[in-house]
Amino acid sequence: MVSSLIIAYFLNNFVAPDAQVPRVRTYREIRTSEHHASLDVEVIPAEGGSIPLGASRVEVLKFKMTADCDGQDVSIKTITLKREGMGNYRDIKKVYATHGTYRLTPGHTMSRRDGIVRLRFRSFTVPSCESRTISVNADFRGSAQVLGEHRFVLLGQNSVAASASSIIVHPWSVESDNVKVEEKTIVEPKPRSEAGPKARCREGRANYPRVRSSNIASEECVNVIDPTLRVSGEEIGLIEVTYLPWLRRITYGPRRTILRFSIKADEKNDHRIQAITFTNEGTARNFDLHNLSLPGSRVVSYLSGNKVRIVFSPPLKLNKNQEKLMTLKADIRASRRRTVKFVIEEPGDIESSVLRRRR
């Protein structure tokens, strides 16, 4: 009996185990999608001129972006711009990009002395074989320097970052940064005795000034567009927004109040408000909210991402020193996990104009 136990103990502890199959390491295959799309960017200058103190949503530059038909959709990531001109960079409060009435980027502060600002896009895609136009807008401070000059330019070919293998940027200038060719008309030069510069230009497209082209012996009639914005001494009207507390719980169902706030005009001007854009800082998106509206506005079917633009029809009139209570309502279709916190993110999200009284 004892010998059997000793033999069993020996076999269990001292016999060499069978040869084990070596463990083969496995690796998960990571596939990367290559973007073979090409993006064509055309820079379009903005119309310059005088702007009042505190002006918002001032268009400073435009881009027409076209994705080729052979590749994929192109996602725009960043655009780098530079402010130029005889003005203080602190005069500009925020810079942001829009597509139509929809704001694509948050407002970026002009914090660098060299005037460089990089716009970071949240989510914007140019579909294959289609074009999209992007506008760059700026909000100016009420304390901006009078007669200050501002204009924005694209830094170069590498200023646009997107998910495309090839990005081609077409500058809009001919020989300088303030000339854009609208339509070229070749005009044979004539002696000065026969016709002056203005008369010779009338034989072309229109009474446009001329620029000398180094590629051809003749001249071109072009339309001169000066994109420089000059701050005037006139102050724009102000609208004050105050958020009011709402202590009730927002529940599932129709016509729920999701925001209460008041708007008040300044002491000098009457205002006409065309639209207000709200941004939800909570987690509710798209179809979580339906039929959003303000008193006197059109009904918007649902959110666009986390934003909604409420349009007044007719425009809402706000007399000087007048204060109005506004209530944003919506049909709640979201679950309890979703949250709602609406704000007016930027001053330019209130689209309004000052009503001038007849004297």
Q: What are the sequence ranges of the domains in the chain? A: 38-170, 181-224, 237-355
CA distance 114 to 82: 8
Q: 237-355: what fold?
A: Immunoglobulin-like (2.60.40)
| C-alpha distances in Å from residue 145, one per residue of 23, 89, 141, 210, 230 | 73, 10, 9, 33, 10
Between residues 287 and 247, the one the model is more confident about: 287
CA distance 231 to 233: 7
186-201 burial, b if ≥16 CB within 10 A, otherwise e?
A: ebeeeeeeeeeeeebb
pLDDT of residue 250: 87
Helices (runs of H) and strands (runs of E) counted in the chain: 2, 25
What residue has token string 């633009």? 309
pTM for the structure as a whole: 0.63
CA-CA-CA-CA torsion sign (81, 82, 87, 90): positive
Identical fold, 38-170 and 237-355: yes
Whether 223 shows a pLDDT value over 70: the answer reads no
DSSP 223-254: B-----EEEEEEEPP-EEEEE----SPP-SEE
pLDDT of residue 206: 34
Q: Which among 57, 147, 148 has a CA at the least distance from the CA of 107? A: 57
CATH, range 38-170: 2.60.40
Do 169 and 157 form a contact (C-beta atoms < 8 A)?
A: yes
DSSP 133-161: EEEEEEEE-TTPPTT-EEEEEE--GGGEE
pLDDT of residue 16: 54
Length of the chain: 359
Q: Averaged over 332-344, what is the pLDDT? A: 89
pLDDT of residue 261: 95
Q: Averaged over 122-137, what is the pLDDT? A: 91
